[in-house]
């Protein structure tokens, strides 16, 4: 291959050793970046350890190596002419064809002339004096550059075999990620394959075609879908032909970089036959992402995931003749999708062949590799060749393989000892002007990488152009922004099942790697919007410096919980009329209709509906009893709905959840509603109901002196007021009060009313509408309407107050928590980060609400301990 020989650039004489940008890697990332840098007029060097372009597709030449995203999607979009000039022969093209594609693009765009091949970057050093990087290469050259981009690939460093005796073997040794260019003929050979991840699953059937004996060593069985390879899928081709721009735009805004209809059905909401039918349809498409998105909750709910996992296991049993082997090949421990699912051609069927044997390393571990073979589980087998399909040091391996030293002599390896902390997966604090393509903290390996690569290359190049235009020399993320990004990535990971599994996504395949979810799971489209927003907000979370100027625009880019954001996005697309534009009757009907569509919540031991006497007539209640043996403590619960709508059944899922989690009886009371019954009807009913429940606790299956109150929103207001009235009117004595995003002060404006006035479901305007229906302005200072204004808050029961960050009512709850504390009341204050007024009540719909609900239940248990 030719090496770079450029001395003239954009009319300027350039030194090859002092350039604007150094790019490491000439895979699809480095190639496109080179094109953009050249077009934008940056002097640059591209350094590649391999002998050609293509990266992954240059190194991974093992038999069966193919892309598992369809070629309709796994291709560049930045050069529209390519679509006319190149056509793919298959849906899942094999490695030689993808490599030819990379070469074709490189030739077409004259990329070869700008790349130094067979050059490895060994280390890189930042100078704070010159504001430049010094890059040292395997050829002994030092290149100085302003900006330094690691386009080094997330699956480019094969994992070293860590099996005792591995270096003793005298036969042939192959690593799938470093396959010989001339190919390997296994005809008549005795072969061992170690590893059953994607590379193993792709290569095993073809190695079995040649070998006289094949033993496959498996530590973890994997889910694999048949590729049903053939021509590119016609329905995708048709869409591309009809409107390529629209198709590509949809891919860029999608969850994983491929246009796919997103699911609307929970796996738990349909009978098994329906689930099987839906899964079968997806399965027959032979597309990697389809089976995982048949249902809404496969990634977040273990029971839902089990539906898909069992479908997969049934498929394995149907293919593999020996039931014991089928069982060994069936994943049981990890949820579907938490390790990268594979695509195969005849993988499971291969184990029906007489010369192929599967060894389960959990029951027959390898004792040692010998000069002639492998000793395992009391057996000793000779082999002519061993193939290691043991995966990669993914996401960070190639980055930290280079000794990168940033500010103050800190190396990236040191900084990342406890996790690859970064901002947007693109940059990292302490390493100015260093960029990563598809690095940790970005969608990367959880996406169609072509879409993610193009997005990163565009973001980086556009940023470099901005810096140049504005006269800035350096850009560096701020610690605040980086920490907020870490939290956001963790929030996203926490609501999924990924953390249950030891996978390479979690760094678990490499000893000593920190255990975090390395890629960003929030989705390709959402991620792109975040990156765009950072630039649109003048590089939020970055400090830019140059020519005596400094621009610091600090702040977190995302704090809202990812599933809450999804709900808000969905609501925005529905274009619903604001509730405050409705009559109370219409608002009630709307609220009832919304409630009918939500998941029901967990099963409880018993539900009893009844009535209790109230000051204005009978009040309905619903009692939830746990399935454990009673008697139980009793919580009198008041529903939300702004005193205008809702009922004793309207917070059903939340009441069920609290009943089961805290092991208490919940009595949910339907107090009178405004505008028919205005202030103080709700307060009076709340207190009357509390008294009645306390008086009848034993008959209700409760323990008489173990009573607490709880409520959400306006119900939190009723609960707080009931607790004050109980203190002032001779009982009952309460063990505690649990107030979830309560209304505590209608007398004045709080900062959060304006900060979160709009966009988070409960709006400032809606709060006004509720108050107008409930209480006259002069009544709002009455402590029975605004418990915060009570002259004396001493002697009230211990409280847990939950406030939500993006709730207009947040500061009212904060103020009540502070006031109670000042009055000597024990208070637990849970500030639910990234939540809105309604999100914690959305049981089984928003996984991020699980942790706060557990804390609420713990508080209830604590009241009664």
Ligand X SMILES: Cc1cc2nc3c(=O)[nH]c(=O)nc-3n(C[C@H](O)[C@H](O)[C@H](O)COP(=O)(O)OP(=O)(O)OC[C@H]3O[C@@H](n4cnc5c(N)ncnc54)[C@H](O)[C@@H]3O)c2cc1C
- In angstroms, give the least distance from the CB of 46 to ligand X: 9
Between 1 and 568, CB nearer to ligand X? 1
- The least CB distance from residue 196 to ligand X, in Å, is 14
Site string for ligand X, 14-33 (x = CB under 6 A): ----------xxxxxxx---
Using alpha carbons, list the distances in angstroms from residue 375 to 162, 211, 372, 378, 807.
15, 20, 10, 7, 63
| Residue 47 binds to ligand X (criterion: CB under 6 A) | yes
Bridge pairing between strands 44-47 and 115-116: parallel
Nearer to ligand X, 258 or 775 (CB): 258
Range 289-315 burial, b when 16+ CB lie within 10 A, else e: bbbbbbbbbbbbbeebbbbbbbbbbeb
Nearest residue (CB) to ligand X, 29 versus 350: 29
Nearest residue (CB) to ligand X, 451 versus 662: 451
Binding test (CB under 6 A) with ligand X, winner from 124, 191, 211, 449: 449
Instruction: Tell me the closest approach of the beta carbon of residue 402 to ligand X, in angstroms.
Output: 5
Of 392 and 816, nearer to ligand X (C-beta) is: 392
Contact partners, residue 501, CB within 8 Å, separation at least 6: 333, 334, 335, 338, 339, 508
DSSP 2-56: ------EETTEE--TTEEEEEEE--SHHHHHHHHHHHHHT--EEEE-SSSSS-TH
Task: Give me the least distance between CB of 50 and ligand X, in Å please.
Answer: 4
Q: How far apart are CB 366 and ligand X at their closest, in Å?
A: 24
Contact 754, 812 (CB under 8 A): no
Binding to ligand X in span 388-417, by CB under 6 A: 398, 401-402
For ligand X, the binding residue among 448, 668, 737, 803 (CB under 6 A) is 448
Sort strands 736-740 and 132-137 into parallel, antiparallel or unpaired: unpaired
Directed axis angle between helix 652-662 and helix 850-864, to 10°? 50
Size of the site for ligand X (CB under 6 A): 36
Give, as ranges, the residues between 535 and 554 that touch ligand X (CB under 6 A): none
Exactly one of 19, 21, 36, 68 binds ligand X (CB under 6 A); that residue is 68
Check binding of 48 to ligand X (CB under 6 A): yes
Nearer to ligand X, 215 or 400 (CB): 400
Length reported for the chain:
865
Distances (CA, A) of 708 to 386, 409, 704, 739, 832: 67, 58, 11, 11, 22
Return the residues of window 103-132 that contact ligand X according to CB under 6 A. Answer: 120-121
Q: What are phi and psi of 583, to 5 degrees?
A: -75, 160
Q: Which of residues 150-209 bind ligand X (CB under 6 A)?
A: 151-153, 155-156, 199
Q: Tell me how far, at minimum, the Cβ of 243 lies from ligand X, in Å.
A: 23
Using CB under 6 A as the binding rule, whether residue 143 contacts ligand X is answered as no
Minimum distance from residue 71 beta carbon to ligand X (Å)? 9
Quote the CA–CA distance of 706 and 631 in Å, as a whole number. Answer: 10
Residue 55 engages ligand X in binding (rule: CB under 6 A): yes
Shortest gap between Cβ of 23 and ligand X (angstroms)? Answer: 9
Q: How far is the CB of 683 from ligand X (least distance, A)?
A: 59
β-pairing verdict for 617-625 and 632-638: unpaired
Residue showing tokens 């002007």 = 433
Tell me which stretch binds ligand X (CB under 6 A): 55-63, 554-562, 686-694, 735-743: 55-63
Smallest distance from ligand X to CB 92, Å: 7
Paired strand residues for 44: 21
Q: Interacting stretch for ligand X, rule CB under 6 A, among 50-58, 223-231, 265-273, 405-413?
A: 50-58
Q: What is the strand order of the sheet 799-806 is part of?
A: 606-614, 617-625, 665-669, 632-638, 702-712, 736-740, 799-806, 827-836
Query: What contacts 92, CB < 8 A, 6 or more positions away?
Result: 66, 67, 68, 70, 71, 227, 229, 343
Q: Applying CB under 6 A, which of residues 111, 143, 453, 667 lies at the interface with ligand X?
A: 453
Using CB under 6 A, pick the residue from 438, 474, 660, 803 that binds ligand X: 438
Q: CB of residue 35 vs ligand X: minimum separation in angstroms?
A: 13
Stretches 57-65, 80-88, 420-428, 540-548: which one binds ligand X (CB under 6 A)?
57-65
Rounded to a whole number of angstroms, the minimum distance from the CB of residue 21 to ligand X is: 15
Between the alpha carbon of residue 208 and those of residues 129, 219, 268, 352, 462, the distances in Å are 59, 19, 40, 11, 49
Build a one-symbol-per-residue string for 364-393: x at contacts with ligand X by CB under 6 A, - elsewhere.
------------------------------
Alpha carbon distance 198, 509 (integer Å):
14
Per-residue mark of binding to ligand X, 578-617 (x: CB under 6 A): ----------------------------------------
Q: Identify the residue whose tokens are 């033993």.
A: 215
* ∠ CA 118-122-128, rounded to 5°: 130
Among 56, 411, 442, 848, binds ligand X (CB under 6 A): 56
Least distance CB 82 / ligand X (angstroms): 16
Instruction: State the Cα–Cα distance between residues 623 and 606, nearest whole angstrom.
Output: 8
> How many Cα atoms are found within 13 Å in the side-chain-facing hemisphere of 260?
27
CB 19 to ligand X: min, Å: 16
Q: Where do we find the tokens 């950072």?
A: 534
Cβ of residue 316: shortest distance to ligand X, in angstroms?
Answer: 22
Query: Is-contact 222 338, C-beta < 8 A?
Result: no
Q: What is the dihedral of CA 103, 104, 107, 110, to 10 degrees?
A: -90
- Between 177 and 646, name the residue whose CB sits nearer to ligand X: 177
Instruction: Rank residues 69 and 721 by Cβ distance to ligand X and give the closer one.
Output: 69
C-beta pairs of 91-94 under 8 Å, 24+ apart in sequence: 91/227, 91/228, 91/229, 91/230, 91/231, 91/232, 91/233, 91/286, 92/66, 92/67, 92/68, 92/227, 92/229, 92/343, 93/66, 93/67, 94/64, 94/65, 94/66
Build a one-symbol-per-residue string for 418-437: x at contacts with ligand X by CB under 6 A, - elsewhere.
-------------------x
Site string for ligand X, 660-699 (x = CB under 6 A): ----------------------------------------
Of the pair 401, 828, the CB lying nearest ligand X is at 401
CA-wise closest residue to 25 among 136, 150, 143, 132: 150
Judged by CB under 6 A, which of 37, 46, 69, 475 binds ligand X? 69
- The dihedral region occupied by 546, where left means phi > 0, alpha psi between -120 and 50, and beta the remainder, is left
Residues in 277-316 that interact with ligand X by CB under 6 A: none
Nearest approach, Cβ of residue 63 and ligand X (Å): 12
Cβ distance to ligand X smaller for residue 201 or 493: 201
Binding status of residue 60 toward ligand X by CB under 6 A: yes
Strand 665-669 relative to strand 632-638: parallel, antiparallel, unpaired? parallel
Site membership for ligand X, residue 633 (CB under 6 A): no
- Give whichever of 28 and 295 is closer to ligand X, judged by the CB atom: 28
The smaller minimum CB distance to ligand X, of residues 202 and 296, is found at 202
Q: Least distance in Å: CB of 150 to ligand X? A: 8
Task: Report if residue 726 touches ligand X, rule: CB under 6 A.
Answer: no
Q: Tell how strand 736-740 and strand 799-806 pair up.
A: parallel
Residue 489: CB minimum distance to ligand X, A = 20
Phi, psi of 243, deg, nearest 5: -160, 85
- The conformation of residue 220, written as its DSSP 8-state character, comes to S
- d(CA 830, CA 851) in angstroms, rounded, equals 11
The residues of the shown chain that bind ligand X, judged by CB under 6 A, are 24-30, 47-50, 55-56, 58, 60, 65, 67-69, 74, 120-121, 151-153, 155-156, 199, 398, 401-402, 437-438, 448-449, 453
């Amino acid at each position: 291959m030719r090496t770079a020989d450029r001395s003239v650039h954009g009319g300027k004489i350039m030194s090859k050793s002092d350039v604007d940008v150094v790019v490491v890697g000439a895979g699809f990332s480095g190639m496109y970046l080179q094109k953009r840098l050249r077009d934008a007029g940056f002097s640059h060097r591209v350094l590649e350890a391999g002998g050609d372009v293509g990266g992954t597709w240059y190194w991974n030449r093992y038999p069966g190596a193919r892309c598992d995203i369809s070629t309709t999607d796994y291709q560049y979009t930045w050069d529209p002419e390519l679509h006319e000039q190149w056509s793919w022969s298959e849906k899942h093209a094999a490695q030689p064809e993808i490599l030819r594609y990379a070469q074709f693009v490189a030739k077409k765009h004259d990329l070869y002339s700008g790349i130094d091949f067979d050059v490895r970057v060994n280390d890189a050093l930042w100078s704070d004096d010159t504001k430049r990087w010094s890059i040292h290469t395997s050829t002994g050259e030092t290149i100085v550059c302003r900006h330094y981009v690691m386009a080094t690939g997330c699956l480019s460093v094969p994992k070293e075999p860590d099996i005792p005796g591995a270096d003793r073997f005298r036969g042939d040794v192959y690593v799938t990620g470093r396959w010989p260019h001339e190919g390997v003929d296994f005809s008549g050979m005795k072969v061992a394959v170690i590893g059953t991840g994607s590379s193993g699953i792709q290569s095993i059937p073809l190695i079995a075609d040649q070998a006289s004996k094949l033993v496959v060593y498996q530590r973890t069985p994997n889910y694999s879908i048949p590729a049903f390879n053939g021509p590119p899928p016609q329905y995708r081709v048709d869409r591309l032909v009809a409107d390529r721009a629209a198709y590509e735009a949809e891919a860029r805004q999608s969850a994983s970089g491929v246009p796919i209809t997103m699911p609307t059905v929970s796996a738990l909401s349909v009978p098994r036959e329906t689930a099987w039918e839906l899964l079968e349809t997806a399965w027959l498409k032979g597309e990697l992402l389809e089976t995982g998105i048949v249902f809404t909750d496969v990634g977040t709910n273990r029971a839902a995931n089990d539906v898909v996992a069992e479908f997969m296991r049934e498929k394995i049993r149907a293919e593999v003749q020996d039931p014991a082997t089928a069982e060994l090949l069936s994943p049981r421990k990890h949820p579907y999708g938490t390790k990268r699912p594979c695509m195969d051609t005849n993988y499971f069927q291969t184990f029906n062949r007489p010369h192929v044997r599967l060894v389960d390393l959990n029951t027959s571990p390898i004792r040692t590799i010998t000069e002639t073979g492998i000793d395992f589980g009391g057996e000793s087998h000779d082999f002519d060749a061993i193939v290691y399909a043991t995966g990669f040091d993914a996401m960070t391996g190639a980055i930290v393989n280079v000794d990168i030293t940033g500010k103050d002599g800190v190396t990236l390896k040191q900084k990342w000892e406890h996790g690859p902390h970064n901002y947007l997966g693109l940059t990292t604090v302490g390493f100015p002007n260093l960029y990563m393509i598809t690095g940790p903290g970005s969608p990367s390996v959880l996406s169609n990488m072509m879409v993610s690569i193009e997005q990163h290359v565009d973001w980086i190049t556009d940023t470099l152009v901005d810096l140049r235009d504005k006269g800035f020399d350096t850009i560096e993320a701020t610690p605040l922004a980086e920490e907020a990004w870490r939290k956001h990535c963790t929030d996203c990971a926490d609501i999924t099942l990924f953390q249950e599994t030891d996978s390479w996504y979690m760094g678990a395949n490499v000893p000593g790697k920190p255990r975090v979810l390395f890629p960003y799971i929030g989705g390709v489209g959402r991620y792109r919007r975040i990156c765009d927003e950072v630039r649109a907000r003048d590089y939020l979370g970055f400090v830019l410096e140059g020519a005596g100027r400094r621009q610091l625009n600090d702040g977190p880019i995302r704090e809202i919980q990812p599933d809450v954001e999804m709900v808000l996005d969905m609501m925005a697309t529905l274009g619903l009329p604001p509730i405050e534009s409705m009559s109370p009757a219409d608002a009630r009907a709307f609220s009832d209709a919304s409630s009918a569509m939500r998941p029901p919540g967990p099963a409880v031991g018993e539900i009893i509906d009844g009535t209790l006497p109230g000051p204005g007539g009978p009040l309905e209640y619903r009692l939830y009893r746990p399935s454990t043996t009673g008697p139980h403590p009793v919580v009198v619960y008041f529903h939300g709905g702004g005193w205008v709508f809702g009922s004793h059944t309207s917070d059903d899922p939340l009441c069920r959840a609290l009943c089961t989690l805290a092991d208490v009886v919940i009595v949910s009371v339907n107090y009178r509603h405004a505008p028919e019954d205005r202030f103080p009807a709700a307060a009076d009913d709340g207190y009357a109901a509390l008294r009645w429940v306390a008086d009848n606790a034993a008959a209700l299956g409760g323990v008489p002196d173990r009573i607490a109150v709880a409520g959400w929103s306006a119900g939190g207001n009723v609960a707080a007021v009931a607790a004050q009235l109980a203190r002032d009117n001779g009982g009952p004595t309460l063990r505690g009060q649990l107030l979830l995003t309560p209304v505590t002060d209608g007398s004045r404006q709080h900062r959060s009313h304006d900060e979160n006035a709009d966009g988070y479901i409960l709006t400032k305007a809606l709060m006004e509408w509720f108050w107008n229906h409930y209480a006259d302005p002069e009544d709002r200072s009455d402590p029975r309407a605004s418990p915060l204004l009570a002259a004396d808050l001493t002697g009230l029961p211990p409280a847990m107050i939950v406030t939500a960050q993006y709730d207009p009512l947040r500061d009212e709850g904060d103020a009540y928590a502070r006031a109670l504390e000042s009055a000597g009341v024990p208070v637990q204050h849970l500030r639910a980060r990234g939540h809105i007024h309604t999100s914690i009540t959305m049981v089984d719909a928003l996984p991020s609400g699980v942790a706060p609900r557990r804390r609420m239940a713990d508080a209830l248990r604590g009241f009664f301990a």
